[in-house]
Amino acid sequence: MIGLSFTAVPAEVDETASSADTPLSLVSRLSQAKAAAVAQRYPQALVLAADTTVELAGTVLEKPRNTAENREFMVRLSGRSHTVHTGHTLAWQGRTAHEVVTSTVTFRALTPGEIAWYVATGEGLDKAGGYGIQGFGAVLVSSICGCYFNVVGLSLATVATLARRLGVSLV
């Protein structure tokens, strides 16, 4: 969106939550681990890593394992507010900058037919919380408080700020 070219590199990181993890500590730990793993392989690169989770009433809703779980997530989110946490980490020249951004999203009350329609799109199966606000899931959301791009999974304003802390101008 801001005209930068990049290469996506998967980080080989175990994303399993530990019993000590809170939603905030989980995204923080995972984004930092992903950045470290990739920076080790590409020491001259500016490395950006992120990890996003959805929290509803103290429970983490990760990526649904199947359509039945995606449907369950939609039922639970319907008519309620939840928080989206994204850990952002930049690594460059042996230094890192890190920040977690939190936004609150409220779903409108959904009918069983709307839930079935959304689940049938398949869009939510690879997304934390089981929905994508940037796609068909936009129709599910009645309001957002915070950064829209954080809910998508990457706050560009935060990335620019973190880069500046490392002495790098992205814009």
Q: 74 lies in a domain?
A: yes
Q: What is the pLDDT of residues 81-120, one digit of tens each?
A: 999 999 999 999 999 999 999 999 999 999 999 999 999 9
> Among 154, 160, 162, which Cα is nearest to 52's?
154
Q: Does position 171 have pLDDT exceeding 90, yes or no? A: no
CA distances from 31 to 54, 76, 133 (A): 15, 27, 21
CB neighbours of residue 82 within 10 Å: 19
Q: What is the pLDDT of residue 48?
A: 97
Q: What is the pLDDT of residues 10-57, one digit of tens each?
A: 998 988 888 888 999 999 999 999 999 999 999 999 999 999 999 999
Q: What is the pLDDT of residue 31?
A: 96
Q: 170 lies in a domain?
A: no
Q: 9 lies in a domain?
A: no
Q: 55 lies in a domain?
A: yes
Q: Does position 3 have pLDDT exceeding 90, yes or no? A: no
Cα 128 from Cα 149, distance rounded (Å): 14
Q: What is the pLDDT of residues 127-161, one digit of tens each?
A: 999 999 999 999 999 999 999 999 998 999 999 99
Q: 38 lies in a domain?
A: yes
Backbone φ, ψ for residue 115 (5° rounding):
-65, -45
Q: 98 lies in a domain?
A: yes
Give the CATH number, domain containing residue 98: 3.90.950.10
Written as six digits, the tokens of 101 are 């951004």
Q: What is the pLDDT of residue 4?
A: 85
Q: 76 lies in a domain?
A: yes
Give the residues across from 105 on adjacent strands: 82, 144
Q: Is 51 a catalytic residue?
A: yes
Q: 171 lies in a domain?
A: no
Identify the active-site residue in 14, 21, 51, 126.
51
pTM of the prediction? 0.91
Segments forming the whole domain that contains residue 136: 23-165
Q: How many structural domains is the chain composed of?
A: 1
